[in-house]
Amino acid sequence: MNLLLFLLLTFSATPLQNFFSGTYLVIWNVGQGQWATQITPERCQHFDMGGEFFPWKKLHQACGDKTNEIYLSHWDWDHIGALSKPALRRTLGHRCLALAPDGPASKYKKSLLANLSSCSARDSDLKIWTPFTAEKDSNARSHVLLHREVLLPGDSPQKQEVLWSQLPWVRTARVVVLGHHGSRTSSSEQLFRALPRVRLTIASARWARYRHPHPQVLERLRQHHLPLLRTEDWGNIWLEGPEHPTTSGK
């Protein structure tokens, strides 16, 4: 799927309603954290639901009356934190859990998933890698997802990248959402060598507060001639497939 980066514009109410009738993958501007959503006319698939702040109004407009399938890479708050917010219930209607985090977690974190029904089926366009490890570090237990040609590695560290970067389906990625928000613990040199088709990288992070993406990662991207978009600079980042060529955004 050839992905087009949309021009980021501020919506009025009317064009926003029409816009959400299409199919898009959105990397939401949530500060330091991750929440990405595949929006279609029938459903929304949420890949993590974490961050420091949330675009509740736009999420409601895009997904409020649809089935919302939730895929969680791991247990860290900056990937699951929205589940603890009362606004989530008012924002999204039917919610089901398609992929739960792996490994141990507190009783409170587990309780956030207890009221979610299980989704009936997974998307055939979605590839998932789950590490076989007993490590207590939740980052090392991150599920790695490829939605069509967008790679979402959660906070998977470099030692795990060595294992999954050689998978044939990983090598088809054209867009990478930087692991661990651009921390130097992820996004290794080996990873980018293993991804010959990548044309765009995205950072869901805040340099102003957390210094992500790390300068080492930025230098690595420069050496591989890979452009970087930061949600901190651009706001919500919208990607669209070739079946919906209209240009619009944010």
> Does residue 153 lie within any of the structural domains?
yes
State the average pLDDT over residues 148-172: 95
| Band of residue 8 on the pLDDT scale cut at 50, 70, 90 | very low
| Band of residue 23 on the pLDDT scale cut at 50, 70, 90 | confident
Strongest mean pLDDT among 54-58, 133-137, 209-213? 54-58
What pLDDT, on a 0 to 100 scale, did the predictor assign at position 123?
Answer: 72
Nearest to 125 by CA among 32, 40, 15, 66: 40
CB of 122 within 8 A of CB of 102? no
What CATH number should be reported for the domain holding residue 25? Answer: 3.60.15.10
What pLDDT, on a 0 to 100 scale, did the predictor assign at position 114?
Answer: 93
What pLDDT, on a 0 to 100 scale, did the predictor assign at position 120?
Answer: 84
Q: With 70 as the cut, is the pLDDT of residue 4 above it?
A: no
> Does residue 246 lie within any of the structural domains?
no
| Total residue count of the chain as it appears in this document | 250
Sign of CA dihedral 39, 203, 144, 81: negative
Reported as half-sphere exposure (CB side, CA atoms, 13 A), residue 148 has a value of: 14
Tokens of 157: 């560290």
> Does residue 250 lie within any of the structural domains?
no
What pLDDT, on a 0 to 100 scale, did the predictor assign at position 216?
Answer: 96
> Does residue 245 lie within any of the structural domains?
no
Between CA 60 and CA 239 the distance in angstroms is: 19
Instruction: Count structural domains, the chain.
Output: 1
Q: With 60 as the cut, is the pLDDT of residue 6 above it?
A: no
| Band of residue 21 on the pLDDT scale cut at 50, 70, 90 | low
Residue span of the structural domain in which 144 resides: 4-240
Tokens of 123: 């998307």
> Does residue 68 lie within any of the structural domains?
yes
State the average pLDDT over residues 167-181: 95
> Does residue 89 lie within any of the structural domains?
yes
Between CA 194 and CA 174 the distance in angstroms is: 12
What pLDDT, on a 0 to 100 scale, did the predictor assign at position 186?
Answer: 96
Distance of CA 34 to the CA centre of its chain: 6
At 71-125, the pLDDT tens digits run: 999 999 999 999 999 999 999 999 999 999 999 999 999 999 998 999 987 677 7
Cβ atoms within 10 A of the Cβ of 145, count?
A: 23
What pLDDT, on a 0 to 100 scale, did the predictor assign at position 242?
Answer: 42
Q: Give the three-state DSSP class for 25.
A: strand
> Does residue 248 lie within any of the structural domains?
no
> Does residue 164 lie within any of the structural domains?
yes
At 113-131, the pLDDT tens digits run: 998 999 987 677 799 999 9
